[in-house]
């Protein structure tokens, strides 16, 4: 278990008045679980931002309220869309024996060294994280997938390629195992789709996928 820890102070400021807390370099938060009524809390912006960045919504942390330490996980992180600063956090206390659901980052390894990239193709990641469930001690910091063997623009990595650690399961019992996590593209096709989408890379990738699917269906009908 990691040693991430954050001391929270109880607060009685609520509603629109929490804006004053942010001016005082404090981040308002709330703690659910383990008690009948949620606890309204606050903590220094620097320490809180550092912890939220390190833990995300997948790593259990220790929070201290009134001198009492509790194991918890961050359930929501409200970020200002303009300033990109944290406006509010919601914690949920947990037990070591609890099976919890968390979003775990998917990390591609071997970027720049894949057969496809060495051949001048482009590998793009479509899914950044996936929901899994496990006991706190079994939750992985991330899930790694190697792209080394991707070679042609027909190749891709899907959820089925994920090897979950012992004690970890997908949160969705109906998880789509064919969902693409990373795919290989021809640079020219990607650029054309990007230009068509007005510079929106996500839309460009979707256009390429639609065009590819259309070509495949056309071949199959012959």
Nearest residue to 52 via CA among 19, 17, 95, 91: 91
pLDDT at 204: 53
pLDDT at 212: 45
Q: Where are the domains of the chain?
A: 5-94, 101-215
pTM of the model: 0.74
> Structure tokens of 103?
């979003």
Distance of CA 17 to the CA centre of its chain: 31
> Structure tokens of 16?
């629109």
pLDDT at 217: 39
What topology does CATH give the domain 101-215? Answer: RNA Polymerase Alpha Subunit; Chain A, domain 2 (2.170.120)
pLDDT at 206: 55
Instruction: Name 113's bridge partners.
Output: none
Tell which phi-psi region holds residue 15, choosing left (phi > 0), alpha (psi between -120 and 50) or beta: left
pLDDT at 218: 43
CB 63 within 8 A of CB 6: yes
Strand spans (E) along the chain: 5-10, 26-32, 39-44, 61-65, 68-79, 86-93, 100-109, 122-125, 129-134, 143-146, 156-158, 169-170, 180-185
Walk along the chain (222 residues) in steps of 10 and give the mean pLDDT of each run. Answer: 86 88 94 89 97 93 95 95 95 94 95 95 96 94 96 96 96 96 90 66 52 43 42
pLDDT at 34: 78
What topology does CATH give the domain 5-94? Answer: Ribosomal Protein L25; Chain P (2.40.240)
pLDDT at 188: 85
pLDDT at 13: 87
Could you give the C-alpha distances from 66 to 18, 69, 208, in angstroms and in order?
20, 8, 55
């Amino acid at each position: 278990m990691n040693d991430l820890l954050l001391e929270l102070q109880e607060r009685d400021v609520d509603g629109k008045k929490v804006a004053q807390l942010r001016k005082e370099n404090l981040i308002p938060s709330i703690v659910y679980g383990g008690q009948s009524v949620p606890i309204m809390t606050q903590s220094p912006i620097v320490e809180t931002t550092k912890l939220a960045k390190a833990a995300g919504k997948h790593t259990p942390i220790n929070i201290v309220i009134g001198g009492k330490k509790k194991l918890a996980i961050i359930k929501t992180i409200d970020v200002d869309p303009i300033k990109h600063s944290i406006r509010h956090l919601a914690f949920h206390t947990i037990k070591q024996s609890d099976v919890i659901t968390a979003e775990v980052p998917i990390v591609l390894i071997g970027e720049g060294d894949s057969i496809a990239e060495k051949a001048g193709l482009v590998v793009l990641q479509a899914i950044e994280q996936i929901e899994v469930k496990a006991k706190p001690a079994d939750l992985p910091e991330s899930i790694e997938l190697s792209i080394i063997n991707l070679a042609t623009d027909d190749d891709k990595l899907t959820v089925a390629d994920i090897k979950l650690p012992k004690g970890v399961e997908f949160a969705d019992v109906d998880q789509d195992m064919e969902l693409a996590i990373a795919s290989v593209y021809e640079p020219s096709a990607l650029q054309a789709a990007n230009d068509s989408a007005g510079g929106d890379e996500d839309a460009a990738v979707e256009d390429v996928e639609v065009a590819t699917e259309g070509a495949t269906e056309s071949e199959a009908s012959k």
